[in-house]
Amino acid sequence: MLGRLFKYEIKATSKILVPIYIAFIAITAISRISIELQVDKNSPLYFISDIGFLIFMLSAMTIFVATAIVIVWRFYRNTSSDEGYLLFTLPVKTDYIIISEFLCAFLWSIVMSVVVVIGIFLMIFNSNVGGITINFPYFKEFFSSLNFDGGKVIFIMLLDMTISTLAEIMAIYCAISLASLFKKYRLMLSVLFYIGLVIITNTLDILVIRIITHNFIPQTETISETYDTATFAEAWNSLIVPSLVSEQVIIDLIFLITITVVEYFIVRKILRKHLNIC
């Protein structure tokens, strides 16, 4: 049944999101063509290149907002509006409903990220940025100069992005579920609850990290190097890599997982015991 619910959610959301993503790629291609026209600076049509880049940025923001709206609206409609009656009359566990919505939202978040990366790649590939030609030889030389610490950094970055995305989605679901306990102003209350959850979780996260690192983790001196005098590769090797493989990052990930699990059980309890669809 979980598979059927997930398939249904994917089918329903893909009708909206897939055309938007395809349109983004098409707009990106057109924007790149407008930039490649290389209109003379003295020509009255020189603004076309700037407009092409502006349209690309606006379209990238649009697919981010569109994905977020679809994720929020699907969960709100299925759990807090009268259209959710049919869903909760089905002989399925509440956990399946939450997980199917959750996995669908996460999948579209990944797809959106991939589409944006593809769009950025199309915009910058084989173009001159700050006197540097962005092409495959450049990427090969660039990555060879970075210290990946045996792949550990890439793994931690992907893990951090994954857990952060899951935590963000569950925070949205928790805020909507808390707002569903009230009969009026649910959308406004969802926003307020979400802001409150973000403030509380971020405050607790900072406190937990500071308490643990101060009392249980030996303090070490960090290498001071500014980004003004260092290349990105040098800054990556001396600043970014040590910070990503530090104990603070591991503590933060464990905290995010804990908060996500707690919020999941809050959502689960509300939908099972205090379902208030109207």
- Summarize pLDDT for 189-241 with one digit per residue, the tens: 999 999 999 999 999 988 887 887 666 655 544 444 444 445 666 666 666 66
pLDDT at position 227 is: 46
- Asked whether residue 151 falls in the same domain as residue 275, the answer is yes
Q: Which domain holds residue 43?
A: 1-143
**Whether 65 contacts 23, CB under 8 Å:** no
pLDDT at position 226 is: 47
- Asked whether residue 207 falls in the same domain as residue 89, the answer is no
- Asked whether residue 126 falls in the same domain as residue 89, the answer is yes
- Asked whether residue 138 falls in the same domain as residue 6, the answer is yes
pLDDT at position 123 is: 82
Q: Taking the CA of residue 151 as centre, how many other CA atoms within 13 Å lie in the half-sphere pointing to its CB? A: 0
CA distance readout (Å), 245 to 152, 155, 204, 216, 259: 8, 10, 21, 17, 22
- Summarize pLDDT for 114-134 with one digit per residue, the tens: 999 999 888 877 776 656 667
- Asked whether residue 149 falls in the same domain as residue 276, the answer is yes
- Asked whether residue 139 falls in the same domain as residue 2, the answer is yes
Mean pLDDT by 10 residues, the chain (278 residues): 84 92 91 70 61 84 92 86 68 86 93 92 74 70 65 77 92 92 86 93 86 63 47 63 70 91 93 69
pLDDT at position 187 is: 85
In the chain, the number of structural domains is 2
- Asked whether residue 154 falls in the same domain as residue 250, the answer is yes
What are the backbone angles phi and psi of residue 241, rounded to the nearest 5°? -60, -50
pLDDT at position 225 is: 47
Amino acid at 73: W
Q: Where are the beta strands (DSSP E) in the chain?
A: 127-129, 132-134
- Asked whether residue 71 falls in the same domain as residue 17, the answer is yes
- Asked whether residue 68 falls in the same domain as residue 133, the answer is yes
